[in-house]
Amino acid sequence: MSRILIVDDEKGMREFLSIMLKKEGHDPVAVENGQRAVKLVKDDIFDLVITDVKMPKMGGMEVLKAVKEASPETVVIMITAYATAESAVEAMKEGAYDYIMKPFKVDEIKLVVKNALEKRKLREENVLLRREVEAGKGFQSFIGKSPAILKVFDLIARVADKTSTVLITGESGTGKELAARAVHNISDRKGKPFMYIHCGALPEQLLESELFGHMRGSFTGAVENKAGLFEVAEGGTVFLDEISETSQAFQVKLLHVLQEREFKRVGGTTDIRVDVRIIAATNKELHEEIAKGNFREDLFYRLNVIPISLPPLRQRREDIPLLAEHFLKKYSDGGPDKISPEAMRLLIDHDWKGNVRELENIIERGCTVADGKVITPSHLPQEVTGGTRRTGPIPDELPAGGIKIEGMLDELEKSYLLKALEKSGGSKTEAARLLGLSFPAFRHRLKKFGLD
């Protein structure tokens, strides 16, 4: 539904346009003079303004200039019974979309309104596309087959079509933004906008302006009315990354949005209702932030309706070969197309404090510095090759908390597979012989760990 402002001193024309636009599914507001129109445009945001050119005191050209100054994205259609070539040219120079002579046919004005709104929508979609491209830079691919990540996939699939708020937690680099996009992309909101904002990257005033929008003159630099991401994302999803970085004052306003599903623009007086799904994310432990007085407990419970916890990469080591191969294809660009068994073993054994993002950066570096077709340990950074492996002697006694024997045995088996491949120079037949396995059994184990 588009909001359309009608400005005409003729009551009959106002009523005709209002009835026609309502039947077309729009939300029209009609006023009888330019002064009232300009006040409304300064206090609210309209998708389209239809204004008469000749009106007492304030004419349509003044209305057009005021609209374009306060809200440049609003489309303006001029209508008049006294058209001249000069006035038409002036209107188009000032930014009018079209200039229509009275009397006009119903089908004619319907078509002009339809095309004008489609032009505005296309402009908005182009802005959204640019935001999507920008937000997608440095984006890790959601790849894996480990039990830990498959559990996350399953949870995302089960909650995607719900309307409840989602809170995604996990260390930096685990793919929180990717999880949020996955929730959106397989939900019934997938055809609507996905709006991303990093809450820690903006000062409080700019953060509020970005999310809620602002009215002209509400603060220094607010030179025009602007719709916020909550409005732009109508029907879609707003992703608030690093929500723990927000101030208590902002948290109160966000809590109101979650409770009432409405907000006011910065400097505005009108309540705006929206249908958006909010997904928040943080790399901090919010219970600790609540205890420190940095985060509101009531907001935490509003956000934490559906919690999704992303495992660190060190808890899904079987996914490292898959991820490494994916990033190798992404960054190879005619360079290396393989990772040596020894290099892969070092990658699997690394602690990965930076998680998937760190792995991507290291593979990109390897592709850049490698002088052949294979990434070897010499192409990996010191933090990977310098003794950060977790392997060690088997303990004489069980730890007090016990152990996960299946995981330990899997890692031991995987380690021997890699050692055998390294010793055999990559020959799978020789590696199978060294381990006393048949070739099919050896291949089966390689596939089990994603090493084939």
Q: Please report how many Cα atoms fall inside a 13 Å half-sphere around the Cα of residue 46, on the Cβ side.
A: 30
Decide: helix, strand or coil at residue 357. helix
Asked if the structure places residue 133 within a domain, the reply is no
- Contact (Cβ atoms closer than 8 angstroms) between residue 375 and residue 328: yes
Which of 89, 106, 127 terminates a domain? The answer is 127
Distance CA 315, CA 87 (A): 70
If one counts the domains in the chain, the total is 3
What mean pLDDT is predicted for residues 13-31?
94
pLDDT of 394 strictly over 70: no
- According to the model, what pLDDT value does residue 386 have? 73
Which of 311, 340, 365 terminates a domain? The answer is 311
292-303 tens-digit pLDDT: 999 999 999 999
Does 75 share its domain with 100? yes
Does 271 share its domain with 160? yes
**Residue 135 binned pLDDT confidence (cut-offs 50, 70, 90):** very low
36-70 tens-digit pLDDT: 999 998 888 899 999 999 999 899 999 999 998 88
Decide: helix, strand or coil at residue 45. coil
Does 116 share its domain with 256? no
pLDDT of 160 strictly over 70: yes
Asked if the structure places residue 175 within a domain, the reply is yes
pLDDT of 155 strictly over 60: yes
Decide: helix, strand or coil at residue 445. helix
Burial readout 62-99 (b: 16 or more C-beta within 10 A, e: otherwise): bbbebbbbbbebbbbbbbbeebeeebbebbeeeebbbb
Does 242 share its domain with 196? yes
- According to the model, what pLDDT value does residue 92 have? 87
Asked if the structure places residue 392 within a domain, the reply is yes
Burial readout 29-54 (b: 16 or more C-beta within 10 A, e: otherwise): bbbbbbbebbebbbbbbbbbbbbbbe
pLDDT of 129 strictly over 60: no
Assign residue 78 the CATH number of its domain. Answer: 3.40.50.2300
Asked if the structure places residue 171 within a domain, the reply is yes
Q: Which residue has the higher pLDDT, 129 or 200?
A: 200
- Least confident span in 166-170, 320-324, 429-433: 429-433
pLDDT of 323 strictly over 90: yes
Which of 283, 311, 339 terminates a domain? The answer is 311
Query: Domain span at residue 402?
Result: 314-448
**Residue 374 binned pLDDT confidence (cut-offs 50, 70, 90):** very high
Angle formed at CA 279 by CA 276 and CA 285, multiple of 5 degrees? 155
Q: In the numeric block, which tokens belong to residue 382?
A: 């010191």
Does 45 share its domain with 179? no
Q: H helices of 24-53, where? A: 34-43
Asked if the structure places residue 168 within a domain, the reply is yes
Does 298 share its domain with 424? no
186-215 tens-digit pLDDT: 888 988 999 999 998 888 889 999 999 998
pLDDT of 136 strictly over 50: no
Does 319 share its domain with 307? no
- Least confident span in 94-98, 136-140, 332-336: 136-140
Distance CA 110, CA 362 (A): 57
Distances (CA, A) of 393 to 369, 396, 405: 34, 9, 15
Does 320 share its domain with 298? no
- Contact (Cβ atoms closer than 8 angstroms) between residue 152 and residue 308: yes
pLDDT of 131 strictly over 70: no
Asked if the structure places residue 180 within a domain, the reply is yes
- DSSP label at 295? S
pLDDT of 179 strictly over 80: yes
Q: Which residues pair with 306 in a beta bridge?
A: 166
Q: In the numeric block, which tokens belong to residue 419?
A: 């050692």
- According to the model, what pLDDT value does residue 235 have? 93
**Residue 120 binned pLDDT confidence (cut-offs 50, 70, 90):** confident
Burial readout 236-265 (b: 16 or more C-beta within 10 A, e: otherwise): bbbbbbbbbbbeeebbebbbebeeeeebeb
Percent of the chain at pLDDT above 90?
Answer: 52
Asked if the structure places residue 223 within a domain, the reply is yes
Assign residue 371 the CATH number of its domain. Answer: 1.10.8.60
- According to the model, what pLDDT value does residue 371 have? 85
Distances (CA, A) of 192 to 237, 276, 311, 447: 8, 10, 29, 39
Q: H helices of 186-280, where? A: 204-212, 229-232, 248-260
Residue 256 corresponds to which amino acid? H
Tell me the average pLDDT of the chain: 86
Does 163 share its domain with 174? yes
CB within 8 A of 28, min separation 6: which ones? 4, 5, 6, 17, 18, 21, 22
Does 179 share its domain with 235? yes
Distances (CA, A) of 201 to 29, 170, 204, 229, 408: 38, 19, 10, 16, 41
Backbone angles phi, psi at 119, to 5 degrees: -65, -45
**Tally of CB atoms within 10 A around 266:** 21
- According to the model, what pLDDT value does residue 403 have? 61
203-257 tens-digit pLDDT: 888 999 999 999 888 888 888 888 889 998 999 999 999 999 999 999 999 999 9
Does 300 share its domain with 321? no
**Residue 128 binned pLDDT confidence (cut-offs 50, 70, 90):** low
Concatenating the DSSP letter of every residue in 367-386 gives HHH--SSEE-GGGS-HHHHS
Asked if the structure places residue 132 within a domain, the reply is no
Global pTM exceeds 0.75: no
Decide: helix, strand or coil at residue 262. strand
Assign residue 291 the CATH number of its domain. Answer: 3.40.50.300
Distance CA 364, CA 149 (A): 23
CB within 8 A of 38, min separation 6: which ones? 58, 62, 63, 66, 67, 70
Cβ contacts of 148-154, under 8 Å, gap ≥ 24 = 148/311, 148/315, 148/316, 149/311, 149/316, 149/319, 152/179, 152/308, 152/309, 152/310, 152/311
What mean pLDDT is predicted for residues 114-140?
62
pLDDT of 72 strictly over 80: yes
- Contact (Cβ atoms closer than 8 angstroms) between residue 176 and residue 220: no
- According to the model, what pLDDT value does residue 126 have? 63
Q: How far is CA 277 from the centre of its chain?
A: 12
- According to the model, what pLDDT value does residue 293 have? 94
Does 120 share its domain with 163? no
- According to the model, what pLDDT value does residue 399 have? 58
Percent of the chain at pLDDT above 70?
Answer: 91
